[in-house]
Structure 1
């Protein structure tokens, strides 16, 4: 009887895994800017709609927008200067740039469709427009690379595979054990995807800096600022969705050499 129950769970788990994999690989689209084939859950139009709808809520999470029009104008000027002079201009996205009021959190991020944010906590640590351009170019790279839409599709896949693993490994005497292991595996997969996206966004950022006549060395300066801000309490790379700033510097230098020679 015990063997029959295990076999039944295994069959159900296999079916769930196959369905999850089929769903993931059927969501193939060609990136309209890079031409790369990607597994994504949304159309570009849906990304724009989601971004516009969620932008106010995202801003509210960081204390709203910073109430200084000159600061907001600076972010928009630098950001749009990158968009209008690179391949991002030909993308289907509606780029806009916002400074968030939070003075403590050191962060910048982009949500689907082109809404880009930087906190005052980070902006006040930057010393030049080129450093700001490096941060915003990196975030534009996330949008152009369709990383949010790609991550959503991956999360759906991981969720499906985690459910399948939970079904197979579940112990009737300890129902939570299988779910715990499955969730742990899922988290590790997501960490890897996050690091890859960050490195690709750095690559975009370097390319855009060079194309707009800005100094890509400023991106290295930003990494040094982030490393200093993190201090000795910064988590190990394997435990973070972002590569360590020191390791990102190596990749940034490689990208600088690549694009300067083109």
Structure 2
């Protein structure tokens, strides 16, 4: 072995480790600096943008998202129905916010999309909420529609989009640091896989948190929150009970979400669901 070869290799390893530590520290400090208090819940969160920036981002992306699903549904009555149920949920939200002495900075709009194939509903940061015709047509009660929309409102209220962006920036920095430390392609790929698994976990947690919002907002608007259980049955039926293993999916399985919703119902209504709620 040529004289000094081992010393040069050790020097290269030390340099890579120093760069990796620097990248990791910078990413972590940047993440810690993103702390904001949620204006509705009062909880401290790590988010990558302000509510105004979330609203602007959602408004900018909404036309493109609608176009990807064939545009808006052609039936004005069906669109008005989605708007009506969404408006009822927002009135319930206003009452909830008043009790919590918070503020709601978000601007909600509800869109029924033409797509007859994709069974889905989603929300953009800031308040743009969408449901496809494929899912809308399968819902059996207005309470189920309220549950779907309430779940999507929950994503906005919990600022999941802004939270995920901040977490993705952190994991990207840590993945980069791990790749530099390993010094080869296989190390970089392993680090990337770990980062993806972390973000999947965040996605599953977000879905369960939004299911809780769905229960709360549905009941607050005067609908029976047990309608959320029916939504999970529809989703499970639509997938035939199949799909990727839960640990490899950003969404928990509908059956597991049903169990979680049952827990939420017991905790929110320990004396039972109130009488007289709309189905």
Q: Which consecutive residues of structure 2, in runs of 5 or more, have no partner in the other structure? A: 1-7, 272-279
1:125 positional shift: 0.8
User: Superposed, which structure 2 residues align to 1:204-223 within 5 Å?
Assistant: 204-223=213-232
1:179 positional shift: 2.0
Q: 1:183 and 2:196 equivalent?
A: no
1:68-99 CA distances to partner (integer Å, 9 max, x unpaired)?
11111111110111011123684101100001
User: Superposed, which structure 2 residues align to 1:247-262 within 5 Å?
Assistant: 247-261=256-270
> Which of these two proteins has the greater Rg computed from alpha carbons?
2
1:130 positional shift: 0.5
Displacement over 2 Å in runs of 4+ = 87-90
CA distance in 2, matches of 1:218, 1:91: 25
Match of residue 110 from structure 1: 123
1:36-90 CA distances to partner (integer Å, 9 max, x unpaired)?
0000011001111111111001111111111111111111110111011123684
Q: How many residues align?
A: 258
1:25 positional shift: 0.8
Indicate the RMSD between aligned Cα atoms, in angstroms.
1.2
What TM-score do you get using the length of structure 1 for normalisation? 0.96
1:142 positional shift: 0.4
Match of residue 138 from structure 1: 151
More divergent stretch after superposition (104-113 vs 209-218)? 209-218
User: Superposed, which structure 2 residues align to 1:1-262 within 5 Å?
Assistant: 1-86=8-93, 87=96, 90-171=103-184, 176-261=185-270
Q: Which consecutive residues of structure 1, in runs of 5 or more, have no partner in the other structure? A: none
CA contact 2:91–2:221 (8 Å) conserved in 1: no
1:23-45 CA distances to partner (integer Å, 9 max, x unpaired)?
00110000000000000011001
What TM-score do you get using the length of structure 2 for normalisation? 0.90
